[in-house]
Amino acid sequence: MKRKIVIAVTGASGSIYADLLLKKLQQIDNQWEEISIVMTANAREVWKIELNNDPYNYENVKIYNTQDFNAPFASGSGRFDTMIIIPCSMGTLGRIASGISNDLISRAADVILKERRKLICVIRDTPYNLIHIRNMETITLAGGIICPATPSFYSKPTTIEEVAATVVDRVIDLAGLQNESYRWGEK
b/e burial code for range 102-120 (CB count within 10 A of at least 16 → b): ebbbbbbbbbbbebebbbb
Q: Domain limits of the chain?
A: 3-174
Please compute the mean of the pLDDT values over residues 179-187 and round it to a whole number: 77
Instruction: With 0.75 as the threshold, say if the pTM is over it.
Output: yes
Give the pLDDT score at 60. Answer: 87
Q: Looking at residue 70, what is its pLDDT?
A: 96
Mean predicted confidence (pLDDT) in 163-171: 97
Distance CA 109, CA 115 (A): 10
Cβ partners under 8 Å of residue 167, min gap 6: 17, 122, 147, 149, 150, 151
Q: What are the φ and ψ backbone dihedral angles of 71, each rounded to 5 degrees?
A: -60, 145
Q: What is the pLDDT of residue 187?
A: 61
Residue 152: the pLDDT is 92
Cis peptide bond N-terminal to 157, omega within 30: no
Per-residue model confidence (pLDDT) at position 91? 97
Model confidence over 75-97: pLDDT tens digits? 999 999 999 999 999 999 999 99
Euclidean distance between CA atoms 74 and 70, whole angstroms:
7
Query: What pLDDT shows up at residue 103?
Result: 97
Q: What digits encode the pLDDT tens for the residues 56-79?
A: 778 889 999 999 999 999 999 999
Fold type of domain 3-174: Rossmann fold (3.40.50)
Residue 185, pLDDT score: 75
* 12-50 per-position pLDDT tens digit: 999 999 999 999 999 999 999 999 999 999 999 999 999
d(CA 35, CA 53): 20
| Helix orientation angle between 90-97 and 104-114, rounded to the nearest 10 degrees | 50
pLDDT one-digit tens code per residue, 107-148: 999 999 999 999 999 999 999 999 999 999 999 999 999 999
